[in-house]
């Protein structure tokens, strides 16, 4: 897609709802949209501090009343689905169908369109959500993101305490900077659907990385000798449960570590949307070094 085909600005009078607005990616999307000019509304689970120039609706994405309020006057929705089950999304789909906004859905690059079932519950729920949105006639623009670099922030506690990241391993994949995904999302949110293909955009980083590779990048950024220690599934499960993580989430994470295949796929879709190449995890590690110190 040449640069001349990229969306370059917010449609006049547009109003955009961002779900998952307080997450690592959602915050980046809100900040960029606010700077671009459209009216922005956040959907948040809990009351947060006010953000000048941005509306907020507090409530649950699965609640009819909350979503009806959140969608008033909205013409575009950036949808991040937070649950490990697509069934509760049916009330959301009903409200979206009633108001018929443009929908941009954040999905997973691990989806295999030829598979009857996906590799793990996390990927399966994204595939199910895509199907629900399409079946409802909402014609979503789908952004299938690879593993977000910000997931590594979950290692901060271990690296503040020592030099080892221990946890379940996962197959190598092209880890992508969440700031790049936010830039791509905003390019789509602020553009016209007529300018965009409806096939999924697959957003990847510039190279496949293992968890050991990511930890090595963090070590270089921190000028420390760090290493990744792969933990067997059973031990990883017991440790995560002992840490208080919900059992369903733990099982989904274990299933992903065991069942998700390696991906060597690197695309230019992010460049096509933003006009620049994807950033490296090494750069992300440098920029976020303070979070691990």
Domain ranges of the chain: 3-144+178-203+266-275
The CATH architecture assigned to 3-144+178-203+266-275 reads 3-Layer(aba) Sandwich (3.40)
Distance CA 19, CA 129 (A): 15
| Six token digits for residue 248 | 């369903």
Distance CA 201, CA 270 (A): 8
| Phi, psi values for residue 42, rounded to 5° | -100, 140
Q: How many residues are present in the chain?
A: 293
Handedness of CA 224, 160, 284, 253 (dihedral sign): positive
Distance CA 30, CA 274 (A): 17
The mean pLDDT value for 228-255 works out to: 95
Q: Which is more confident, 46 or 7?
A: 46
The strand pairing partners of 44, in sequence order, are: 58
Provide, for the chain, the percentages of residues in helix, strand and coil under a 3-state DSSP scheme, each rounded to the nearest 5: 45, 15, 40
Give the confidence band of 10 by pLDDT, cuts at 50, 70, 90: very low
Could you tell me if 191 and 201 are in contact, meaning their C-beta atoms sit under 8 angstroms apart?
Answer: no
The mean pLDDT value for 66-71 works out to: 96
Q: Is the pTM of this model over 0.85?
A: yes
Tell me the three state secondary structure of residue 76: strand
């Amino acid at each position: 897609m040449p640069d001349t085909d990229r969306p370059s600005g917010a449609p006049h009078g547009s109003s955009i709802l961002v779900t998952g607005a307080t997450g690592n990616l959602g915050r980046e999307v809100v900040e960029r949209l606010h700077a671009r000019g459209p009216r922005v509304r956040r959907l948040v689970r809990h009351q947060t501090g006010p953000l000048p120039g941005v509306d907020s609706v507090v409530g649950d994405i699965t609640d009819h009343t909350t979503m009806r309020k959140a969608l008033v006057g909205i013409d575009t929705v950036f949808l991040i689905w937070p649950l490990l089950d697509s069934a509760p999304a049916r009330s959301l789909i009903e409200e979206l169908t009633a108001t018929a906004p443009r929908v941009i859905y954040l999905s997973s690059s691990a989806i295999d369109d030829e598979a009857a079932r996906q590799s793990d519950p996390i990927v399966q729920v994204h595939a199910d959500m895509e199907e629900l949105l399409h079946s409802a006639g909402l014609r979503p623009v789908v952004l299938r993101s690879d593993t977000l670099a910000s997931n590594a922030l979950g290692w901060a506690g271990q690296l503040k305490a020592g030099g080892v990241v221990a946890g379940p391993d996962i197959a190598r994949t092209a880890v992508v900077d969440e700031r790049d995904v936010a830039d791509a999302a905003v390019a789509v949110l602020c553009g016209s659907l007529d300018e965009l293909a409806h096939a999924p955009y697959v957003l990847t980083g510039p190279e496949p990385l293992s968890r050991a590779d990511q930890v090595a990048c963090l070590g270089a950024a921190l000028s420390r000798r760090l290493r990744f220690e792969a933990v067997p599934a059973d031990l990883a499960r017991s440790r995560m449960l002992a840490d208080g993580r919900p059992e369903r989430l733990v099982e989904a994470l274990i299933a992903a570590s065991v069942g998700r295949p390696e991906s060597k796929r690197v695309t230019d879709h992010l460049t096509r949307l933003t006009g620049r190449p994807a950033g490296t995890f090494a750069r992300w590690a440098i920029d976020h070094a303070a979070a691990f110190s």
